[in-house]
Amino acid sequence: MWERWARSRGKSTTLRQQDLDYRLYLPDDVLVKVDRASMAHSVEVRSPLLDVRLVEWAARLPRAALLDAHEGKLPLRALGRRLLPEAVERGAKRGFGVPLDAWFREPSGRALVRERLLDGRGMDLGHWDHRGVRRILDIHGAGTGRGFGVLLWRLLMLEAWTRQHAAPTRPVEARTASAPAAA
């Protein structure tokens, strides 16, 4: 990536960023994910905004025609104002977030967390306070306050990585209980 960035010296920052998007981000990230997800569900996906003629046309536009101080994608936004209902055109951008909070409130999600983090080998890994994980899981499961789906996911990923790459250590409770008293 940095080599490509260095080779594009002399061009505007916008053109350099577009070049990285066209050559790296789209083919190596976004389009791969779309392709895999669509193939997994036997769905044919088209990307009309990546039509070669449209991309070449947009690449010839001056920066001022593409973005201003407040927003980008000006030609696309102008087209949206002409063709879409106002509620859609003015709607907030939304990503495709993973519903971790909902997943870990389901019985199967809670069971997975308990199995991996609180039972058996998960207890032996010793990388977290098991009482704390139980408390987080209980608060999360109640659904009345803050969701801890992302935190639970991160703990599961840490547990999976540790299971593969690290030897177990003593549990946090055992380390805490055997620590010498402060003088």
pLDDT digits 0-9 by tens, 61-115: 888 898 888 888 899 889 999 999 998 888 887 777 788 999 999 999 999 988 8
**Amino acid 41: pLDDT:** 92
pLDDT at 141 over 70: yes
CA distance 36 to 161: 24
**Amino acid 179: pLDDT:** 47
* Residues 6 or more apart in contact with residue 169 via CB below 8 angstroms: 125, 126, 127, 175
**Amino acid 175: pLDDT:** 45
The amino acid sitting at 138 is: D
Q: Is residue 126 a contact partner of residue 174, using CB atoms and an 8 Å limit? A: yes
CA distance 11 to 17: 10
pLDDT band of 172, cuts 50, 70, 90:
low
pLDDT at 176 over 70: no
Please report how the helices 149-165 and 130-142 are oriented relative to each other, as an axis angle in degrees rounded to 10. Answer: 140
Condensed to tens digits (0 to 9), the pLDDT of residues 20-53 reads 888 888 888 889 999 999 999 999 999 888 999 9
pLDDT band of 120, cuts 50, 70, 90:
low
Rg (CA), the chain: 25
Average pLDDT value over all residues in the chain:
82
pLDDT band of 183, cuts 50, 70, 90:
very low
Q: What is the largest CA-CA distance in the chain?
A: 75
Question: What ranges do the domains of the chain cover?
Answer: 2-89, 100-178
How confident is the model over 134-147, as a mean pLDDT?
A: 85
Q: Is residue 168 a contact partner of residue 125, using CB atoms and an 8 Å limit? A: yes
Helix (H, G, I), strand (E, B) or coil at 62: coil
